[in-house]
Structure 1
Amino acid sequence: MDKNTQAINYMREQNFEEAARLFNEVIEEQPDEPLGYINFGNLLVQLNENERAERFFEKAIELDTEAATAYYGLGNLYFEQSLFPKAQMNFQQAIELGLEESDVYFMLGLTLQNQEQFKYALPYLLRATELNPNDEEILFQYGLSLAQSNSLEDAENVFNRVLEINQDHSDTHYNLGVLSLFNENVDEALGHFNEALRIQPEHVLAANGKKNVEQLINEN
């Protein structure tokens, strides 16, 4: 096992000190290779050492302007700091350079969501679902952007796919409850709000939805 792989395994085990030691050795042994800087940058993001992380990613790009994963790392760094336009620019650059992974499409979709550009988020979230069709969080966010873009029937279909993977996804039940209300199906809405609260009793939005539906039923 090479040092990069070993260090990544240490990162997964949250043994950050050993990971840093090995990444440092990789950089010392191969100072002109961008991979060590990228991996060290990813480690620094996890440790919230944002300024240092940025310098490592930028060094990787200085060594190789087509290092797609360095742009992806910068995108994640800026996303965590809510610097969404800068995150968007770097995720797009990573994709243009050929990074064809669900995560980069997903993160670009989330970045656009956070800028309330829901329709622009859709093709990236769709691509993320194509690359990783069984990831419930990717599917959920895709469904959310569909709903926010007023594609309600498509959103409902996607939310139902989430429940096929995880019947206990409380936010999906809540959103299906909201869609049911739009369709004037009060009983179905109440069922979904109740399910959301069964799974997550402190779900404030579901509690509010249930209260409103029960009030509507009582008035009728």
Structure 2
Amino acid sequence: MDKLQQGIDRMQEQEFEEAAKLFTEAIEEQPEEPLGYINFGNLLLHMQEYERAERFFERALSLDEKAATAYYGLGNVYYDQEKFTKAQEQFLHAIENGLDEADVYFLLGMTFVQQDYHKLALPYLARAAELAVEDVDIQFQYGLCLAQNHQFREAKKVLEGVLQLAPEHGDALYNLGVVAIYEEDPQTALEHFNKALEVQSDHMLASHAKAEVEKALNQE
């Protein structure tokens, strides 16, 4: 097993000092190989040492300007620091250079969500959802984005799929209730809000929405 793989294994086992040592040795043995810098960058990113991580990813890109995972790593550096426009640029470079994985599309979509550009987020979240059909977080954010774009029929289908994966997903239940309100079905909305509160008693949004729906129904 080469030192990079050993370093990745140590990193996954939370043995960060040993991982750093192995990555350093790999870089010293092959200083023109970008993978060593990328893996060390990922370790530094995990440890939230963002400035150092950025330098390692940039070093990798100076050796190979098509290193898609280095762009992805840089995107994560910026995303974690809420520099969403800079993160977008890097995630797009990663995709342009052949990275076709759910996570990069998901994070690219989320950079737009974080800036309230829900229409721009939708195609990237859709691709992420297509690539990761059993990832609860990705499916939920896709469903939520559909709802924010007023595509309620599709949102309902996706959020119901989230409940198939995670039956006690309070936020999915709450947002199904919101969709039902838009569909002018207050009784169904109330059912969803009640279920959300059953699985998460402190769900403030569901509690408030339930009170509003009950108030409206009592006035009829």
1:27 is matched with 27
Amino acid at match of 1:83: K
Amino acid at match of 2:43: L
Amino acid at match of 2:121: A
1:185 and 2:202 aligned? no
Shift of 1:16: 1.3
Shift of 1:199: 1.6
Q: What is the alpha-carbon distance in structure 1 between the residues aligned to residue 177 and residue 14 of structure 2?
A: 39
CA deviation after TM superposition for structure 1 residue 60, in Å: 0.3
Distance in structure 1 (CA, Å) of the matches to 2:4 and 2:195: 45
Deviates most, 130-139 or 4-13: 4-13
Q: Deviations over 1:10-66 (max 9, x none)?
A: 222222111111111111111111111111111111111110000000000001100
Deviation at 1:2, TM superposition (A): 2.0
Q: Which amino acid aligns with 2:123?
A: P
Structure 1: tracts of 5 or more residues without a match: none
TM-score where L is the length of structure 1: 0.96
| Structure 1 partner of 2:13 | 13
Q: SS of 2:21's equivalent?
A: helix
Partner residue, 1:144: 144
Q: Give 1:9 deviation, angstroms.
A: 1.9
Deviates more, 1:210-219 or 1:123-132: 210-219
Stretch moving more, 119-128 or 82-91: 119-128
Q: Write out per-residue CA displacement over residues 126-146 of structure 1, whole angstroms, 9 at most, x where no aligned residue.
A: 111121111111111111111
Identity over the aligned pairs, expressed in percent? 56
3-state secondary structure, aligned to 1:66: coil
* Equivalent residue number for residue 128 of structure 1: 128
Letter in 1 for 2:96: E
Provide the residue aligned with 2:104 in structure 1.
Answer: 104
Q: Is 1:174 matched up with 2:179?
A: no
- Stretches of 4+ moved more than 3 A in 1? none
The letter of the residue matching 1:128 is A
TM-score by length of 2: 0.96
CA distance in 2, matches of 1:163, 1:86: 34
Q: Secondary structure at the match of 1:99?
A: coil
What are structure 2's unaligned runs of at least 5 residues? none
State the 1:89 CA deviation. Answer: 0.3
Deviation of 1:217 (Å): 2.4
CA distance in 1 between partners of 2:59 and 2:3 (Å): 20
CA distance in 2: counterparts of 1:39 and 1:217, whole angstroms: 58
The 2-side partners of 1:11 and 1:206 are apart by 40
Match of 2:49 in 1: 49
Structure 2 distance, partners of 1:25, 1:207, is 56
How far apart, in 2, do the equivalents of 1:20 and 1:149 lie? 44
> What is the aligned partner in structure 2 of residue 216 from structure 1?
216
Distance in 1 between residues matched to 2:177 and 2:184, nearest whole Å: 10
- Structure 1 vs Structure 2 CA RMSD: 1.1
* Secondary structure, counterpart of 1:168 in structure 2: coil
Give the whole-Å Cα distance in 1 for the aligned partners of 2:134 and 2:23: 33
